[in-house]
Amino acid sequence: LNSFETGTITSNDLVNKSEYDGEGFGISGGYGYQNDGPNNPKGTNPTQTETVQIPDGSHSVNKNVGYGKDKDSKSSITQSGIGTGNIKVTDNEKQKELTGQTAEEAAKGIESDLTTETVADNSGALENIFDKEKVQTEIDLQVKVTQ
């Protein structure tokens, strides 16, 4: 038979937290000019040094900026406890001073009825929510859509 004995006891539940936050951005740009007029025939050497009168042609400028963000978080609580009904707190005065509870109340409050078979289902454990490939795909898609 298991037992636990102590002068005083305090406990805290565990707060489990899983979170991620990712961002991405993309920038691109370009400039285009086309003029096939008589003063700038196709095939003209662009490094020529003489001044050439260029008539108005077709200009284009493009600029793109895209942004993406993805985040998620989850949390749970794992309750602290001692898995035996045989808990004895021996210093009633000190226990009352520490927690405001009597030794008997503190012992009852920390007692847990979890067993080896039930502990996993009641642990408050979190599954890993971060999937690098999924997050990267989502951010890349958002960047592309907003460009």
pLDDT, tens digit, 9 for 90 and up, residues 21-32: 999 988 888 877
Domain that holds residue 108: 4-26+69-146
Q: Is residue 121 part of a domain?
A: yes
**Beta strands 14-34 and 58-78: pairing type?**
antiparallel
Q: Is residue 14 part of a domain?
A: yes
For 77-102, how does the pLDDT look when each residue is reduced to its tens digit (9 = 90+)? 988 899 888 999 999 999 999 999 99
Residue type, position 138, single letter: E
Q: Is residue 105 part of a domain?
A: yes
Say how many domains are in the chain. Answer: 1
5, β-bridge pairs: 88
pLDDT of the residue at 35? 64
Q: Is residue 19 part of a domain?
A: yes
Question: Residue 12: which pLDDT band, with cuts at 50, 70 and 90?
Answer: very high
Q: Which residue from 3, 23, 8 is spatially nearest to 89, judged by alpha carbons? A: 8
Question: Residue 122: which pLDDT band, with cuts at 50, 70 and 90?
Answer: confident
96, β-bridge pairs: none
Cα 61 to Cα 20, 29, 71: the distances in Å are 37, 8, 34
Residue 70 near residue 135, CB atoms below 8 Å:
yes
pLDDT of the residue at 37? 59
Q: Which residue from 88, 80, 79 is spatially nearest to 1, judged by alpha carbons? A: 88
pLDDT of the residue at 92? 97
